Amino acid sequence: MQNCLIKTSRQLPQALKVWRTVTLGGLVAAMSLLIACQPNVENDTKSDTGNGNAKTVGQGNAHDSDDDSDDDSDHDNQVAKHIASTMANAANAANASAALSASRLQTIENLAGVPMAKLATFDPQEIKQGGDTGITITSSESYSKPSFNITASRKGNFFIGNAFFKQPWVVAPASTDSRDGLGALFNVAACQSCHIKDGRGHAPMTSDDSADSLLIRLAMPATTAKQQQQLANSDIEKVAHPVYGGQLQDRGIQGVPAEANIAVSWADAPVTFQDGYVMTLRRPTFQLKNPGYGEFDVT
């Protein structure tokens, strides 16, 4: 093949829609061909009627005088590689299904309601489920990046906000007056202490582990007619504790006792699926120890 059928990877999802009826193996082969082929070495100049810009394709690279920057090219390459990787994973899934026993395969298909071959079918839209906001970075830093389609004028706001998200607050007064005022009671000193790398945190594994990513909400029974009416009208979310409020704060600045310490223990909880497969989950039990301002039970 002398000319590449598709010259930018941004067109790959559209091409895949045309070939989605091809068998999985054939689709993998077609994708490999698309990614491996190169444009004709002879220059191919076309007029872009959409924006009036001229595009020149030659020596294996596409150049757009306004729209195609180096970042776009890198992103296109990443998308193409990501598509190829996803296709390979789908092929591996199909091979894995062939290794299943007939009874296990039948059970999976009955539970899913579709044939196993359809379960392993590649959907091009899985690549960018967030549309044009999606990025192709798959490392632990993926949640810390701005949206792909964010404008250059707004990136400054993103990075300023991200800096506040990462940097800890300090006790006032301090030389850093833009981030002072921590306490007197608090949970953690920085947003990222809970939302690690802008993603999910972790529950404490033992009673000695920290509860940085865990919040304990407090509530009391509605014992008066007024409280019951407020709850019924959604005027209040809950009846807060008269001393500790609606959220436990398990830290305090120097000289200020924390409201309590959070301790957790875990117990195994086996779950049996319809096909007989057993998955062991864990059920947590939380305890509040060392209350700093009196007992939690209010009579």
Q: Which of 133-137, 207-211, 237-241 has the lowest mean pLDDT?
A: 207-211
Look at residue 139 in the predicted model and tell me its pLDDT. 84
More confident residue, 262 or 23: 262
Q: Domain ranges in the chain?
A: 9-149, 183-289
Q: Is the pLDDT of residue 250 over 70?
A: yes
Q: Is the pLDDT of residue 72 over 60?
A: no
Q: What is the phi/psi pair of residue 234, to 5°?
A: 60, 30
Q: Is the pLDDT of residue 80 over 50?
A: yes
> Mean pLDDT over residues 20-46, rounded?
37
More confident residue, 7 or 170: 170
Look at residue 208 in the predicted model and tell me its pLDDT. 78
Q: Is the pLDDT of residue 48 over 70?
A: no
Q: Please report, for the chain, how many H helices and E strands are present, in that order.
A: 8, 7
More confident residue, 7 or 158: 158
More confident residue, 78 or 185: 185
Within 8 A by CB and 6+ apart from 298, the residues are 220, 241, 242, 243
Q: Is the pLDDT of residue 186 over 90?
A: yes
pTM: 0.56
DSSP string, 209-232: S--TT---B--B---SHHHHHHHH
Look at residue 131 in the predicted model and tell me its pLDDT. 82
Q: Which of 106-120, 151-165, 256-270 has the lowest mean pLDDT?
A: 106-120
What's the CA gap between 143 and 127, in Å, rounded?
A: 16
